[in-house]
Amino acid sequence: MTFRRSFPLRLVLGLTAASAILASCAGEATPANDLQQLRTQIARGDAAAAELTIDRLVENKVERGSFSAFAGEATLLRGDLVEARKWLAEGDFDDRSAPLGYRLLAELEMREDNLDASAQALAKAREAAPDDPRVWVAIGRLRYRLGNHLAAIEAAGRAVELGPDDAEALRFRGQLARDIEGILPAVDWFASAIKSAGDVPDLRLEYAATLLDAGEFEEAQAILSQTDDPYLRAVALARTSKFFAAREALELTAKEDRETAAARLLSAIIDVELGNLESAAQTLDQLARQQPANRRVRDLLAYVLSRNGNQEELIFRFADEARGPHGSPWLRTLVGRAFEAQDNREEAAEFLDLAASDQSALSLIDGDDARAAGKGAFATRNSIRAALSAGNVDRAIQEARRFSEEYPQSVDAASLLGDALLMRSDPVEARKAYQRAAQMRRSWPLLLRMAAILDRSEAARLVAEYAAANPLNGEAAAMAADGYAAAGQWREAAASLDRAMENGMRDVPWVLAARSVAARELGEGDGVDQLDWAIEAYETQRMSQPAIAALLSALPEEDLQLRSELAAKLQALAGN
């Protein structure tokens, strides 16, 4: 599941407090009226007014159990965990508010990483209200946090079953859909949640973020234009390539928000697009040192170093990593080009060959639910990964089986077992393990593995479904195009390749070469488009066999000398 940065509520204390005082003077301040007013204030996110109402309830000596759950909710709303514990920890709730009170206590315990205590609170909430969809949402969130993904999905389904119009149940199901089914199905769930909830600001913002990830920029922009949060406006403007305006919006963001990793990455991307490469490199270098496992930051830093002509630093920092199992095709290409710029053809050929024969489908899947399950599970996961990296397959399989038995609902456990079985050349059992993992989280690396052990037509269907559900995944779109081409569906293949290039694959030679072939099959530009795409593929990487083959196919028959040179080069690279 993807968790996004959250922002504190902007509370205009004086004005809100005055409004609450005037409201209280408008009619008789009875306990029943105050309780109703408190619930209304919390519903609209007015924590300051709620605090005044709570003070009045205390002053009037109203029975604590009738409002302690609501008081806890109000203090959580303003982020005061210490005060919230005073209201919630004793479990002093009346029958009507007990489900809410125990659910909020569980949330408080989870925020403070007291997961066992959170589970105990939810057991009491479930006992008090077994058919409350919000209780089941909370149960699902805790299960997900613990790495029990299948159980979390079951809880989400139960919540939607009990509350088909409950906004929080629909929202949680949408969050899970991002992991399991893809971005577009998640959009539908969030749209249903919005329809049920009405104008709930944080839900609308999460809906807008999902729309951005789905490529629905105009609809997302319409929502974000109504927010006063400059950071979110900056994100939306950057997604629509309005980088000057995005920079201006980001500068208006509060200092503490600008210093988050997400905001700094956004700032670096804006700098790259505006040509401020030194500034981008400095920001990305800091992020890379703080987040050494973040491959997106690593690859972007390598790209900036390449753009800025810092070939020596690029080679020094990234050559070993690019050569290893976690080197992406893009990183390998950048390192190869850096060696080319230094006229070191032999080293360049090694990295460009690695990039052309991408092995990313066989690199280890990253996971995070083992960390959530505790230090022991995290250590076990790392031990299995180390055994796989060292080629100790038997040990890896033994440990992975034990890990999978101990954590049967863990994505990490199922994925690592599949990896170990695949390395032992047991595709049947590996497929079973991967399918179990995919029921919990269908990530792109996992899908690549599944595709690698399926027959061509089934793999093509799987990739096409993923690409359709995740329209901004350029790599998925490119691979889907390969399936369409194999089936002779050239119009679909061309559209998929165009989408891939719009989403980061324009510098990948085989994608450009494939676009050249699609242009030929569709008769685009009377052969001119085919040649243009082929030339671009070849200029991108002159050692790429698909690029050479595409150019050889696109050149006029009378261009005998160049065709002969390309044919010889292709034959040499193929080892014939």
Query: Average pLDDT for consecutive 10-residue bins of the chain (576 residues)?
Result: 39 34 43 80 82 86 88 87 90 90 93 91 94 95 87 94 95 92 93 87 86 87 81 83 90 86 91 91 91 85 91 92 80 88 85 64 42 60 83 89 87 89 90 90 88 89 94 92 92 96 88 94 88 92 88 90 90 76
DSSP state of 66: G
pLDDT at 197: 87
Distance, CA of 477 to CA of 470 (rounded, Å) = 9
Residue 428 lies inside a defined structural domain of this protein: no
Residue 70 lies inside a defined structural domain of this protein: yes
201-213 helix and 183-197 helix, angle to the nearest 10 degrees? 160
List of residues 6+ apart from 514 with CB closer than 8 A:
478, 481, 482, 485, 493, 497, 546, 550
Count Cβ atoms within 10 A of the Cβ of residue 19 and give its class: 0-12 exposed, 13-18 middle, 19 or more buried.
middle
Residue 25, Cβ neighbours under 10 Å: how many?
Answer: 9
Q: Which of 190, 63, 147 is nearest to 378 (CA)?
A: 147
Q: Which of 279, 274, 223 is nearest to 246 (CA)?
A: 274
Residue 144 lies inside a defined structural domain of this protein: yes
Domain range holding 30? 13-203
Residue 535 lies inside a defined structural domain of this protein: no
For residue 391 the two structure tokens come to: 């080629």
Count: domains in the chain: 1
Residue 229 lies inside a defined structural domain of this protein: no
CB 217 within 8 A of CB 240: yes
What single-letter amino acid sits at 127?
A: E
Residue 534 lies inside a defined structural domain of this protein: no
pLDDT at 12: 32
Residue 194 lies inside a defined structural domain of this protein: yes
pLDDT at 522: 93
Residue holding tokens 């709930």?
200
pLDDT at 31: 65
* CATH at residue 174: 1.25.40.10
The Cβ-side half-sphere exposure at 157, using a 13 Å CA radius, reads 6
Distance, CA of 403 to CA of 380 (rounded, Å) = 7
Residue 354 lies inside a defined structural domain of this protein: no
Residue-wise pLDDT tens digits, 221-260: 888 877 778 888 888 888 878 899 999 999 988 888 888 8
For residue 445 the two structure tokens come to: 């690396």
Give the Cα-Cα-Cα angle 7, 10, 11 (nearest 5 degrees). 140
Give the Cα-Cα-Cα angle 455, 456, 462 (nearest 5 degrees). 90
Residue-wise pLDDT tens digits, 290-300: 888 788 889 99
Instruction: Give residue 357's region: left, alpha or beta (phi > 0; psi -120 to 50).
Output: beta
Q: Which of 116, 106, 122 is nearest to 374 (CA)?
A: 116
CB 88 within 8 A of CB 101: yes
Distance, CA of 233 to CA of 99 (rounded, Å) = 37
